Amino acid sequence: MIVDDSGLRATILEDGLREAGFTDITSVPPQSGFVARLERMAPDVVLINLSNPSRDALEEMLMVSRALERPIAMFVDQSDDAMIGAAVDAGVSAYVVDGLRKERVRPVLELAIRRFNAFAKMRSDLDEARAALAERKTLDRAKAILMSSRGLTEPEAYAMLRTAAMNQGRKLVDVAEALISASALLAPPDGDTK
């Protein structure tokens, strides 16, 4: 998908894509509602070309990046540090200043795809690490409840959780969450000395 309000510049990008072997190419002018249109079309890669972007135009283009989560290469004729920073923060994979030539399209596109994939893997790895940490905290809290209420050691508490999970055919973290919930329901209300 090419996003460009200039037919001449869009033609340069389209020629570069065709020479690189791409055939399913669509151009969209950056008009009202174009972000929703891009979302519906779900292109594999987006090439955005802006001659001299204003801050408002740049912000609108960067909505594309946030909405699609696809590799995006942006070509601009002029830029400054703030625009580059905004583009990178929004997830633009390749940002090219004053470099719109059809022979550059393929390498820029390949860079955008590789960079997008690298960042997507990093995000996935980070999400997995966060989930694992959250599960670990849940297990630790459940073990602490068992250790306190039953006078168990940590290995004994873990073994009890593990046995319950196997007997119930559930994940260990699900059993731990259920124990934490049940413990909260059975705990005396604050201020109750009984």
Convert the pLDDT of each residue in 5-60 to its tens digit.
777 778 888 888 888 888 888 888 777 677 777 788 888 888 888 766 666 666 66
What pLDDT band is residue 179 in, cutting at 50, 70 and 90?
Answer: very high
- Domains defined for the chain, CATH in brackets: 2-124 (3.40.50.2300), 125-186 (1.10.10.10)
For the chain, how many residues are written?
A: 194
Judge whether 16 and 102 are in contact, CB under 8 Å.
yes
Mean pLDDT (the chain) is 84
C-alpha–C-alpha distance, residues 26 and 131, integer Å:
39
Residue 192 has pLDDT above 60, yes or no: no
- With a pLDDT cut of 90, the percent of the chain lying above it is 33
